[in-house]
């Protein structure tokens, strides 16, 4: 573990001794694949399900491996998928994958583990991180590039798509969910990934959140919005094909998108 963490150093240069102009700023993709998929099928990890002829996680890693601006990839797994993921990234194709680390029970724990690894690798505070859900296999290069560009102006950005549905904020009434509020649709976006941050910004937000054991955000943007409210999070255009595979019933649609992309 310590050996693989050491190899996570994204570049040979350090912040102190390189000319800023010559330094290649790390752009690190963190692929989160430690989810248990309780809404999917716990005996069949969704990260590893084949669509369009390859495992879902291979699609996700490919998107960053083949983006010329991404310098390094870190994959976060759990024990159930570790062996399979290591076999996949063991292929010579994946020469940007620096390490495969252990995640945690919640999404936040997995991001925290990645931040810890990156801190130990002494990546610069202004390194660009792209945190991506392994189960969004069809992220576009436009969205990845949009995130990298947005971090030139903002310290945080997220891929999202405008909601074509009106959203309802619900609450409980006895056994039943009832509608409490209906926000304006024009300002409602469906968060996707990658979510992008300057390393120092996300680290700071997570450090502030660590003090609150009752905080269980479902994405990293939430951590920044809640803990660093003065920090604007830019929205980068996503796409409806950048779907998240959550339920077994999502797989046929994923197959269909995989075929469309191949065609």
**Given the rule CB under 8 A, which residues bind its own copies?**
154, 158, 160, 163-171, 173, 176-183, 185, 187-192, 217-219, 221-222, 225-226, 232-235, 240, 244, 246-247, 249-250, 252-253, 256, 260
CA angle at residue 210 from 110 to 111, to 5 degrees?
A: 15
Distance CA 114, CA 200 (A): 13
Nearer to its own copies among residue 6 and residue 240 (C-beta): 240
CB 260 to its own copies: min, Å: 7
Distance CA 68, CA 221 (A): 25
Nearer to its own copies among residue 96 and residue 227 (C-beta): 227
CB 17 to its own copies: min, Å: 36
CB 221 to its own copies: min, Å: 6
CB 21 to its own copies: min, Å: 28
What φ, ψ does residue 248 adopt, rounded to 5°? -55, -30
Nearer to its own copies among residue 84 and residue 251 (C-beta): 251
Nearer to its own copies among residue 54 and residue 180 (C-beta): 180
Distance CA 96, CA 71 (A): 6
- Write the CA distances from 43 to 10, 36, 112, 177, 262, integer angstroms: 34, 10, 26, 30, 29
CB 97 to its own copies: min, Å: 26
> Are the CB atoms for 193 and 185 separated by under 8 Å?
no
Distance CA 132, CA 128 (A): 13
Nearer to its own copies among residue 97 and residue 257 (C-beta): 257
């Amino acid at each position: 573990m310590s050996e693989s963490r050491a190899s996570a150093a994204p570049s040979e240069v350090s912040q102190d001794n390189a000319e800023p102009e010559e330094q290649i700023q790390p752009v690190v993709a963190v692929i989160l694949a430690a989810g248990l998929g309780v809404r999917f099928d716990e005996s069949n990890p969704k990260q590893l399900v084949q669509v369009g002829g390859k495992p879902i996680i291979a699609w996700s890693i490919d998107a960053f491996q083949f983006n010329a601006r991404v310098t390094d990839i870190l994959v976060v797994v759990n024990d159930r998928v570790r062996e399979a993921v290591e076999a996949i990234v063991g292929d010579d194709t994946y020469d940007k994958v620096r390490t495969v680390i252990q995640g945690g029970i919640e999404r936040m724990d997995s991001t925290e583990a990645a931040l810890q690894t990156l801190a130990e690798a002494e990546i610069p505070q202004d390194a660009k991180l792209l945190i991506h859900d392994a189960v969004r296999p069809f992220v576009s290069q436009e969205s990845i590039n949009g995130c990298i560009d947005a971090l030139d102006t903002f310290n945080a950005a997220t891929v999202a798509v405008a909601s074509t549905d009106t959203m309802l904020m619900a609450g409980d009434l006895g056994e039943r969910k009832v509608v409490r509020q209906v926000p304006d649709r024009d300002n409602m976006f469906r968060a996707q990934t990658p979510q992008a941050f300057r390393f120092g910004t996300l680290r700071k937000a997570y450090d502030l959140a660590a003090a609150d054991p009752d905080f269980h955000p479902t994405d990293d943007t939430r951590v920044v919005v809640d803990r660093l409210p003065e920090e604007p999070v830019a929205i980068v255009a996503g796409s409806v094909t950048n779907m998240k595979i959550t339920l077994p019933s999502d797989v046929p649609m994923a197959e269909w998108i995989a075929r469309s992309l191949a065609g």
